[in-house]
Structure 1
Amino acid sequence: MIELDEIDRRLVRALCADATQSAGALGRELGLSQPATWRRIRRLREAGVFGPRRRVDLDLEALGFGVMVFLGVKLATKGRVSLDDFERAVRAIPEVQTVQHVLGLFDYRLRVVAQDLPDFERILRRRIMTLPGVGNVEANVVLSEERLPGPL
C-alpha cells in the first residue's frame, strides 16, 4: 500500500475528474512544476494506484441506453463448472456492463443497460434468464445516479 500525501490526493482527484489534463496544467493546479507532477504520476502508476490506460466516460443516454438496471442473480447450482459457465456466457451479452461475483443473497450482481423497459424485458427474458445455472433474479431499476469523487 502506498502512502498518499495531500498533494497526491489532489492529483488523483484531478486525474479522476479529467485524465486528459497535461502535466503542466495539473502542476499549475497543484502548485508543482511539470517534472515534479510527472514524477508523482509515475510513482502512483508504478504503485498500482492507476494503470497506464486512459478510458472514455460514455454517455449511455446519448448512445440510446435510457435504462440502467442492477440485477442480483442467484445460481440454481453452485460449483466451479457452474460459475465458469455462467461467467463465460454473461460476458457475451453486450448490454451487461459489469459482472461482480458477490457474497450475500445473490451470487452475482450485474449492471445492465437497455434502450427502454421493453428492451430490458427482452434482454432479461431472452438472454439473462437463459444463462446456464440461473435460478433467481432480482432487478433494481436505477432512477438517478450521482457519481461521487471516491474515498480521496
Structure 2
Amino acid sequence: MNDDLDKIDRAILAALQTDGRMSNARLAETVGLSETPCARRLKRLENDGYIERYRAVLSRSALGLGVVAFVYVRFAVHDRAVAMRFEREILAIPRILSCHNVSGSADYVLQVVARDLDDYGTFMRDQLRSLPGVTSVESSLSLREIKANGGLPLP
C-alpha cells in the first residue's frame, strides 16, 4: 500500500468501492470531511491513479446470463506471436469477463458467461477452440456465486 494514503483517503476509497455513485455530500459525511476538502481529495485520488474508472455492475440474471464458467486454456507450443494474437482476440469477445495468464498446468484462465449450457457449448465449439494457439480447454461451471466484485482490500 502506498504510504501517501492516509486514513481518510482509505475511507474515501472504501466508500466508493461500495457505492461509486455516492454524491460528494454523502461521501464527505461518510468520511468526516466538509464537501470541498473531500472533493479535492477525490480529485487527487483520481489523478494519482488510485481510482481507474467508475462503472455499473449489471445483473447477470436480469440479462439472461445464467451460466458462469471458468475455462482453463492450454497451448502446446508457447510462441509469443501466437499468444499475442490469442490475447488480442480475447479482448474482442464480450462474453469473456476476465482473462488471466497464469502459472501451472494451464496457460490462461478465462471467466465466461453464457445464456445456458447450449449457448456455452456453441461458444466453446465455434469461438474458443478456434482461437490461435489453443490446443485444449477444460471448464469448471459455477454452481453458486458466493462473492463477486468484492473490491480491493484497504488496510
Q: TM-score, normalised by structure 1?
A: 0.90
Whole-Å Cα distance in 2 between the matches of residues 90 and 27 of structure 1? 40
Deviation, structure 1 residue 14? 0.8
**What letter is aligned with 2:47?**
E
Counterpart of 2:30, as a letter, is: E
SS in 1 for 2:84: helix
Name the counterpart of 1:107: 107
Matches within 5 A, 1:19-58: 19-51=20-52, 53-58=53-58
| Residue ranges of structure 2 left out of the alignment (5+ in a row) | none
Sequence identity (%): 38
Distance 2:90 2:43 in 1: 35
Q: Any residues of structure 2 matched to 1:81-100 within 5 Å, and which?
A: 81-100=81-100
Structural RMSD (CA): 1.6
Identify the residue that residue 61 of structure 2 maps to in structure 1. 61
1:150 offset after TM fit, Å? 2.9
Deviation for aligned residue 1:5: 2.2
Structure 1 residue 129: Cα displacement: 1.0
Contact between 1:73 and 1:134, CA under 8 Å: does it hold in 2? yes
- Misfit runs of 4+, over 6 Å: none
Counterpart of 1:12 in structure 2 is 13
Shift of 1:149: 4.0
Matched with 2:152 is 150
**2:89 is matched by which residue type in structure 1?**
A
Which amino acid in 1 is paired with 2:45?
L
Deviates more, 1:18-27 or 1:84-93: 84-93
Question: For residue 130 of structure 1, what is the aligned residue in structure 2?
Answer: 130
- Structure 1 CA distance, aligned partners of 2:67 and 2:90? 19
Which structure 2 residues correspond to residues 113-124 of structure 1 after superposition, within 5 A? 113-124=113-124
Q: Which amino acid aligns with 1:38?
A: A
Aligned counterparts of 2:89 and 2:34: Cα–Cα separation in 1: 49
Q: Secondary structure at the match of 2:60?
A: coil
1:139 lines up with 2:139 in the alignment: yes
SS in 2 for 1:93: coil
Q: Any idea what the Cα deviations from partners look like across 1:103-149, whole Å, max 9, x if unmatched? A: 22211111110001121111111111111111121211112221334
* Bigger mean CA deviation after superposition, 94-103 or 107-116: 94-103
Q: In 2, Cα distance between the equivalents of 1:133 and 1:149?
A: 33
